[in-house]
Amino acid sequence: MADPGARFGFDFVTTLVGSGRTLLLTAGIVRYGDRFQFTTTELYAFGGGGLLVVGLLFGLVLVATGSK
């Protein structure tokens, strides 16, 4: 059964929120990255890894509760 909230074949709102979060994270790293002891590349890796872990955990919770 098709998801009525996914008119374009994917969840457009989730895509926009994810893109916005990524842009905010990138802007924060570019603006404040020199205040940390890590390089810009390492900060990107930590941010991306953190978002990946949160997304995977959230997806597992949705599957476990039967929401998806």
What is the tens place of the pLDDT at every residue in 15-51? Answer: 888 888 889 988 988 899 889 898 888 988 998 898 8
Domain that holds residue 24: 20-64
User: Residue 1: its pLDDT value, please?
Assistant: 47
Residue 15 falls within a domain, yes or no?
no
Residue 46 falls within a domain, yes or no?
yes
Are 21 and 51 a contacting pair, CB within 8 Å?
yes
Residue 53 falls within a domain, yes or no?
yes
Which comes out higher in pLDDT, residue 2 or 48? 48
Residue 51 falls within a domain, yes or no?
yes
Residue 14 falls within a domain, yes or no?
no
Per-residue confidence band for 6, with pLDDT thresholds at 50, 70 and 90: low
Q: Closest Cα to residue 26, out of 47, 7, 52, 5?
A: 47
Neighbours of 1 (CB within 10 A): 3
| Total domains present in the chain | 1
Q: Closest Cα to residue 51, out of 32, 30, 23?
A: 23
Per-residue confidence band for 10, with pLDDT thresholds at 50, 70 and 90: low
Residue 28 falls within a domain, yes or no?
yes
Rounded Cα distance between 65 and 61, Å, is 6
Residue 52 falls within a domain, yes or no?
yes
